[in-house]
Chain A
């Protein structure tokens, strides 16, 4: 019987730890009785922290808890199609159009925009600084093939990766063939980790400005912005509700409430000012008033060309009876 004592002691200890932890945990979440809304969001919105203040505000105004699942745009759409998300926040207009026409998404609203940036080592071995995107990419390919430059790609079907493939295509390259060349590395990881890899390798990379500023400002990477604010680098974020007629069991009513909140003046201001004092510039720009009032015609035109379908952010057949979102 000598050895049973420790076992019982250990079992009691383990059970005690578990039950204390469990009861404390349940105590802390017991006061609920609130509805839930699952939001599958692109990493650049969540991992920059932009959604934190919005979540706080929304949850204090509505009896709804927001569950953010931070994934790439591709996976966010997968979640939605399988019924595991009620709303998606994404940034790949071409895939979004397919998502709408496939019947999975309704009530799309463009909520924000910013610009992707092409960044690289300060020494800029391919000499791309301030060039147009296509020319810059051509030079990177030349430098890469002669062993003087490396490009790191996300390679994960995220919105950023989809954008990157479009940029290569419009510069006259075939992504599938390029991917086999030794100077082009695919990280298969999120934006942050891919930035770290590019930094270690002194490589060129396409990044969203929000994540880049966070990493650069925090002293984690030393790569510099070499090409930015080009029409081709426009990055547009939309919210899309999952269609309850197509995907059963989704929380459509609260999805609409959340989208209405995102396009409210309050939320749009929060987006504009998020961490502006830290970085001296906005990480994301609100898009709703810009599109409504046409304050900057050139920019509006760019967004229309890039992220509108048939001249609108959401064709009427995909609005599912919520005209107020488009007034």
Chain B
């Protein structure tokens, strides 16, 4: 069995070097879907996370616990719930989103929302006491103080964004349930890996996994390097 992992690794390099059209398409689609999902999630999650982290809200502890708990939601469970909503006979069936890339984008955006919210809230909370007070003592207005706070929390927020993207691109349940793994339309790296495994094409499955790892690993290294500068 170990020889298959080695074979898979060699196969992965071959596929990357030769620029295999099908694999390239699947990889680009994965980047597009999970990247868009992450950006979409940021639009609503980042303000929410900063709000929760920077204000003394009523029931704050409950809200934070809720998002912390949602971090661990099984993707196939979330996928099933969204399938029932988006199915033609479901309440959102009229939108005709099922088995389209946009269905996966929405699903993954919902999946990573708790990650961005939780990590952003924690990041803002961690820096709050010192910075905001310091800014105010230096004569900053409330808005300027909040900006200073946000800037201080940025590296951690960046990390939240990267973690979200990684979770989105590596998940299987939602892509399978909402996308249907349709060749040429909704097949992404994880669903293609599953299909290759089911077909007994282990070298291809390993190769796809290695491409996925390259993306996730490369992005993490890039963020770390940027953070250090």
| Chain B 181-205 residues near chain A, CB threshold 8 A | 181-185, 195, 197-202
The answer to whether B226 touches A18, judged by C-beta atoms less than 8 angstroms apart, is no
| Chain B 145-189 residues near chain A, CB threshold 8 A | 151-152, 154-155, 157-158, 161, 165, 180-185
The answer to whether A4 touches B154, judged by C-beta atoms less than 8 angstroms apart, is yes
Task: Tell yes or no: A214 within 8 A of B by CB.
Answer: yes
Which one of B29, B99, B182 lies within 8 Å of A25 (CB-CB)? B29
| Chain A 142-200 residues near chain B, CB threshold 8 A | 190-193
The answer to whether A28 touches B25, judged by C-beta atoms less than 8 angstroms apart, is yes
The answer to whether B99 touches A67, judged by C-beta atoms less than 8 angstroms apart, is yes
Task: Tell yes or no: A21 within 8 A of B by CB.
Answer: yes
Chain B contact residues: over half helix, strand or loop, or mixed?
helix
Rounded to whole Å, the gap between the CB of B200 and the closest CB of chain A is 5
Which one of A5, A18, A83 lies within 8 Å of B93 (CB-CB)? A83
Task: Tell yes or no: B87 within 8 A of A by CB.
Answer: yes
Rounded to whole Å, the gap between the CB of A217 and the closest CB of chain B is 9
Contact-residue bracket for chain B: 35 or more
Task: Tell yes or no: B222 within 8 A of A by CB.
Answer: yes
User: Could you say which of A24, A190, A247, A248 has the most chain B C-beta atoms within 10 Å of its C-beta?
Assistant: A24
Q: Which residues on the B side are within 8 Å of A15 (C-beta)?
A: 39
Whether A25 contacts B154 in the complex (CB less than 8 A), given A68-B183, A82-B88, A190-B198, comes out as no
Whether A83 contacts B87 in the complex (CB less than 8 A), given A3-B151, A13-B222, comes out as yes
Rounded to whole Å, the gap between the CB of B11 and the closest CB of chain A is 14
| Chain A 241-256 residues near chain B, CB threshold 8 A | 247-249
Whether A29 contacts B198 in the complex (CB less than 8 A), given A4-B154, A82-B90, A83-B93, comes out as no
The answer to whether A48 touches B151, judged by C-beta atoms less than 8 angstroms apart, is no
User: Closest B-chain residue to A215, C-beta based?
Assistant: B200
Chain A contact residues: over half helix, strand or loop, or mixed?
helix
Q: Which residues on the B side are within 8 Å of A17 (C-beta)?
A: 31, 35
Task: Tell yes or no: A298 within 8 A of B by CB.
Answer: no
User: Could you say which of A15, A55, A69, A84 has the most chain B C-beta atoms within 10 Å of its C-beta?
Assistant: A84
User: Closest B-chain residue to A248, C-beta based?
Assistant: B88
Which one of B25, B28, B202, B229 lies within 8 Å of A6 (CB-CB)? B229
Which one of B158, B165, B182 lies within 8 Å of A68 (CB-CB)? B182
A22-B35, A49-B199, A70-B198 given; name 14 further pairs at CB < 8 Å: A5-B229, A6-B154, A17-B35, A25-B29, A47-B199, A65-B185, A83-B89, A84-B87, A84-B99, A190-B198, A192-B199, A193-B198, A247-B89, A249-B88
Q: Which 3 A-B pairs have the closest CB atoms?
A: A83-B88, A18-B35, A21-B31
